[in-house]
Structure 1
C-alpha cells in the first residue's frame, strides 16, 4: 500500500489549506436507508476531516447514485465528481458491480480516471458487501487496488466478519440485508477514519510515490463518454427531446429522449468499440418497451423493457451492447414497440455510453 498522496493531502489539511473531499459510488454512498444525509458514511468521513483539521476549509461532494455500477460510474466521474477538483476520493462499487460481467475493467477505468485527474486526488477504495449473502466483487476490485498499491477498506474483513462472529446481528446493521442503517454507516465510517488516522500519525514520514502502472485489464473504459441531450443530436422520428433543466446528478429523468407511442424511433451515429444504452425501468407499469437495432441488423434486435418489477423506485437500467468490438462507426436505432395497454408510460432513454 502506497500512502504518498494521502500523506500529502493530510499535510495540506494540517497546514490549513482549502480541500475538497469527494465520494463516488452507488446507493450506500448516496445514503439509502439512512435517516438523514448527515448520517451517511460519506458525510461522517467528511466530518472527520473537518474535526481533525479545524484550521483547514473543506468542501463535500457526494457523487453516489443508487442502483448504478462502475460502467456508469466511469462515464460520469468527471461531471459528478472530478469537475469539482477533489483532493481526496473514496470509490465504492463492490456491491453494485455484482451483475457487471466485466466489472474489473470498468472499475479500473474509474480508478485510472481519478488517479490521472489534474488535481491528483488521494484515492481510498471501499469494498462493501451484501450482509445477507456475502456477495461482493471485492476480489476483482481488490486486485485492481493491489495493482495500483491503493489504500483499501474491506467491510468483508471487518464489519461483516464481526457480524458472522456474533458481535452484531444483521438486523442491527441493515434493514434489508444490503444497505446499512445509521449504526451500520457509522461502523463503515469508523473503518475509513481508522485508516486515515493511522496514516495521519505517520504523515511526516517520507515515502516515494508509485508511478501510474500500465493497466491491469484491457482498460477500454478509462475515457468512457456519456451522451445525453447535451452531447448528442440523434435523428428523431417520433421520439421527443426532454428539454427540462436538470437539477443535480440525482435529478435523473431529464436531458434524455422519450417515446410516447409504438413506432417512435431515433437514430444515433457513433464511433466506438464498446457501447451501452441507459434507459428508465419504471414502477409505473405498464410501460412501453423498445428495441435497439445496430447497423441495420434487424435479425438480432436487443429488447429494452421499460417495466421494472420492483416497487421501491424507478431504475437506471444499463444494457451493454458492444464490448471490445473493433472500433468502427455504427448506427444505433431505438424504436418503441406496440403495447396492449391503452395509455402506457412513455419509454425514456437517458444516454448512450461509449468507449
Structure 2
C-alpha cells in the first residue's frame, strides 16, 4: 500500500525541545486528564475526510488515548477552513487556549503564503501560544500542496528553529513519494490540497512517528524548558483582538448587527453587521499598530462592494469586494488594512460604494482585528 512507502522519520525537519511534550506525556502516564488541541485550516478541520473520525487530527488524538488508556484525553479541533495564522492568533484564546490545552498541533502551512508578512504573523501566533500561562506543548505541522509541493514551511520552520518548537513535514515524506511517482496524487487527494482518508492516515502516521520517538525517550533525558527568545520580526501580531458585535458597539449608519446565535466556531458568518444600501457606513476606533478586516466573499452574486478607510486616509482606501470568484463556498476573507502604524488608537471606516438592484446577499462585515 501507498502508506508503506513512506519513511516517516524524514518528516522530522526540526527536533526542537521536547521538555513540554514529555511533561504532557508524564502527566498522562500518571493518570491525570489531558487536553490535546489542533489549530489550523481546512485540513485540520477535516475537509474531504469521509468522517470527522478519519481526519488526521482525530487519528492523532486516538493515539494519545491508546497510548495512555488510564487517563481522560479531551479533543479540541480548532480547524477552520480558509484561514491563516493571522486570524489564528486573533482566535487562539477563544478557540483553543480557553480549553486549557496541554498539547497542540499548529497547521497553517498551506494557508499562509511564503513571505515575510506571514513569518511575522506566525511568530506572533507561536509566541502567543507558547507564553500562555498553561505552558502548552506545541508541534508545528507542515501540510503541502500535492501538485507542486508548495507551502510556507520555510517561514514556519524558521520560527520553529528559533523557538525550539518541533516541526514535522509532509513535504519530504508524502509529497516526495508523489513527486517521484511512487504514489499518484489521486490515491491520496481529490484536489491536490485536501487529503482523503488514506492521505489523512498517512499524515497522522508522520505525526505519530514523532510522538512515539518522544515517548521512547521519555525517561532518557531531562530537558529544561527553553526561555522565550527575542522576536526575529517586528512582532506586531502577538496580541490581537477581534472586534465583533458581542464586544464592540461601533458607530453605524445603515449597518445592522446580526444576532444569529453562533453554535460552533465554524459558523463563521456570525456576530457581525450587514448592509445593502450604497453609502451605508460603520466606524470603529480601535487600539493597535496593525489593522485588518474580515468580511464575506459570496459565491452567490452579485454582492455589494465596500471600501475601508484607516484614519481618514481616503487616498489609500482598500476595496472590499463581496463577490467571490471561487466556487467552493463563501469565504471568510481577511484583508490587512494597515501594518506597523504607530501604536495607539486608529479609526476604521467601512462604506458601501457599489450595490446592485439584483444583489443576492447583503455585504457582511464579520470583524475588525487590531494587533500589536
TM-score by length of 2: 0.93
2:359 is the counterpart of 1:339: no
SS in 1 for 2:334: strand
For 2:228, which of 212, 217, 221 is the aligned residue?
Answer: 212
CA distance in 2, matches of 1:347, 1:126: 35
Cα 1:165–1:24, aligned 2, differ >3 Å: closer, same or farther? same
Q: For residue 235 of structure 1, what is the aligned residue in structure 2?
A: 251
CA distance in 1, matches of 2:237, 2:51: 34
SS in 1 for 2:201: helix
SS in 1 for 2:214: helix
2:244 is the counterpart of 1:244: no
Q: For residue 146 of structure 1, what is the aligned residue in structure 2?
A: 161
- Could you tell me how far 1:281 is from its partner in structure 2? 0.2
After superposition, the C-alpha distances for 1:267-317 in whole angstroms (9 at most, x for unaligned) are 111222100111000111100111112222223321000000111110010
Q: For residue 13 of structure 2, what is the aligned residue in structure 1?
A: none
Cα 1:99–1:144, aligned 2, differ >3 Å: closer, same or farther? closer
CA distance in 2, matches of 1:341, 1:163: 49
Q: For residue 370 of structure 2, what is the aligned residue in structure 1?
A: 354
Q: For residue 54 of structure 2, what is the aligned residue in structure 1?
A: 39
2:119 is the counterpart of 1:104: yes
- Could you tell me how far 1:247 is from its partner in structure 2? 1.0
- Could you tell me how far 1:342 is from its partner in structure 2? 3.0
CA distance in 1, matches of 2:358, 2:130: 51
1:41–1:188 contact (8 Å) kept in structure 2: yes
> Equivalences for 1:284-299 in 2 at 5 Å?
284-299=300-315
- Could you tell me how far 1:338 is from its partner in structure 2? 2.9
After superposition, the C-alpha distances for 1:201-243 in whole angstroms (9 at most, x for unaligned) are 1111212221121112211111111111112110010100111
Could you list the runs of 5+ residues in structure 2 that have no partner in the other structure?
1-15
> Equivalences for 1:4-23 in 2 at 5 Å?
4-23=19-38
2:276–2:355 contact (8 Å) kept in structure 1: no
CA distance in 2, matches of 1:354, 1:276: 7
After superposition, the C-alpha distances for 1:326-353 in whole angstroms (9 at most, x for unaligned) are 1232221111123233344100000011
CA distance in 1, matches of 2:174, 2:125: 25
- Could you tell me how far 1:100 is from its partner in structure 2? 6.4
After superposition, the C-alpha distances for 1:9-60 in whole angstroms (9 at most, x for unaligned) are 1111111110000010001000111110000000000000001110010100
SS in 2 for 1:250: coil
Q: For residue 131 of structure 1, what is the aligned residue in structure 2?
A: 146
- Could you tell me how far 1:150 is from its partner in structure 2? 1.2
Which segment drifts farther, 32-41 or 264-273?
A: 264-273
For 1:181, which of 184, 196, 215 is the aligned residue?
Answer: 196
Cα 1:291–1:99, aligned 2, differ >3 Å: closer, same or farther? farther
CA distance in 2, matches of 1:67, 1:133: 19
Q: For residue 84 of structure 1, what is the aligned residue in structure 2?
A: 99
CA distance in 1, matches of 2:123, 2:172: 22
CA distance in 2, matches of 1:324, 1:172: 44
